[in-house]
C-alpha cells in the first residue's frame, strides 16, 4: 500500500495566506455593510496597507528585471536567442509601461476624488428659505472647481455632528440632499419614487423621519467622502405596512 506523501510546507503556507485574504474580504464586506461608522475608525489600516504596497511595487519591478536578465548568464554563449530574449523582455516591459501611461491619462481613474477639506473656524448660516442650503463666506472652499464635490462628497457641520450629500455648490454656498446624524445607529434608508435615499428610524413600530433639526447658524464645517450606509426600497416598506411618517414632505419637519 502506497504511503501518501506529506504536503509540502510551502504549499500549506500558500493556502493559509489565501484563506486569510478571503477572510479579510468577507470581514471588510460585513463591516462596510452593517457597521460603516465603526469601519471609518479603522481606515488607517487600509492606508497602511496601500502605503506598504506603494513602497514595494517599484523595487519589486526593478529587481524582477535585474534577476530576469542576470539569470540568463553569459548572453554571448546563448547566441542569437539570448539577444532576442533580452530584446523581447525589454520591449514587452516598455510596451506595458507605455500602455499604462496612455490609459491612466485617458481614463483618469479617481479624477475629482480626494480627502475633501476642513474649515473648523468658518462661520456658516442656513438659508431661511431652504434649511438644506448652507451659506459660507466667499472663497471658503479650497478647490478651484468645487463642483467636483457634487454627488460624490458630504458636507459636514462639525459643531452639530450632521452631514448631507452635496447636490449643488458654488463659491459661497452648498446644498445637501438631506441632513442626517453622523454615525447614527439603527437608521433605515428608504428610496423614494424620485430616487432619493431618505433616513428613517422606528418608533413604536412605525417609521418616522430621522432627519435631525439643524440650528440656523454655527461654526466649523468640512467636506469628506461619504460612508456607505444600509438602504431599503420604498416598495418593500409599503409591502410591510411601514408607511413612513414625518419625512421631508411632512408638516412636522423643521423649516426656517
Count the Cβ atoms, other than its own, within 10 Å of residue 207: 21
Q: How far apart are CA 224 and CA 152, in angstroms?
A: 9
Q: What tens digit of pLDDT does each residue of 224-235 get?
A: 887 644 333 333
> What predicted TM-score, i.e. pTM, was given to this entire model?
0.46
Half-sphere exposure of 115 (CA within 13 A, CB side): 3
10 Å CB burial of residue 50 (0-12, 13-18, 19+) is exposed
- Residue range 16-66, pLDDT digits in tens: 888 888 998 898 888 877 877 777 677 778 788 888 888 888 888 888 878
Residue 248 pLDDT: 40
Task: Give the mean pLDDT of 179-203.
Answer: 72
Q: Looking at residue 8, what DSSP letter applies?
A: P
* Lookup result for grid cell 426656517: 256
Question: Residue 200 carries which DSSP code?
Answer: E
DSSP structure class, residue 18: H
Amino acid at each position: 500500500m502506497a504511503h501518501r506523501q506529506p504536503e509540502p510546507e510551502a504549499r500549506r503556507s500558500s493556502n493559509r495566506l489565501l484563506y486569510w485574504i478571503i477572510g479579510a474580504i468577507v470581514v471588510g464586506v460585513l463591516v462596510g455593510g452593517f457597521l460603516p461608522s465603526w469601519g471609518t475608525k479603522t481606515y488607517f489600516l487600509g492606508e497602511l496597507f496601500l502605503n506598504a504596497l506603494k513602497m514595494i511595487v517599484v523595487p519589486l519591478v526593478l529587481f524582477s528585471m535585474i534577476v530576469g536578465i542576470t539569470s540568463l548568464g553569459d548572453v554571448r554563449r546563448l547566441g542569437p536567442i539570448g539577444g532576442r530574449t533580452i530584446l523581447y523582455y525589454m520591449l514587452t516591459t516598455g510596451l506595458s509601461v507605455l500602455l499604462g501611461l496612455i490609459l491612466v491619462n485617458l481614463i483618469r481613474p479617481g479624477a475629482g476624488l480626494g480627502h475633501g477639506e476642513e474649515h473648523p473656524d468658518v462661520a456658516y448660516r442656513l438659508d431661511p428659505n431652504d434649511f438644506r442650503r448652507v451659506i459660507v463666506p466667499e472663497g471658503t472652499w479650497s478647490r478651484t472647481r468645487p463642483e467636483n464635490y457634487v454627488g460624490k462628497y458630504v458636507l459636514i457641520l462639525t459643531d452639530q455632528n450632521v452631514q448631507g450629500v452635496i447636490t449643488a455648490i458654488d463659491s459661497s454656498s452648498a446644498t445637501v440632499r438631506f441632513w442626517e446624524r453622523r454615525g447614527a445607529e439603527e437608521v433605515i434608508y428608504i428610496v423614494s419614487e424620485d430616487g432619493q435615499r431618505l433616513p428613517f428610524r422606528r418608533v413604536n413600530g412605525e417609521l418616522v423621519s430621522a432627519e435631525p433639526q439643524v440650528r440656523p447658524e454655527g461654526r466649523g464645517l468640512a467636506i469628506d467622502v461619504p460612508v456607505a450606509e444600509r438602504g431599503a426600497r420604498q416598495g418593500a416598506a409599503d409591502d410591510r405596512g411601514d408607511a413612513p411618517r414625518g419625512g421631508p414632505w411632512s408638516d412636522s419637519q423643521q423649516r426656517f
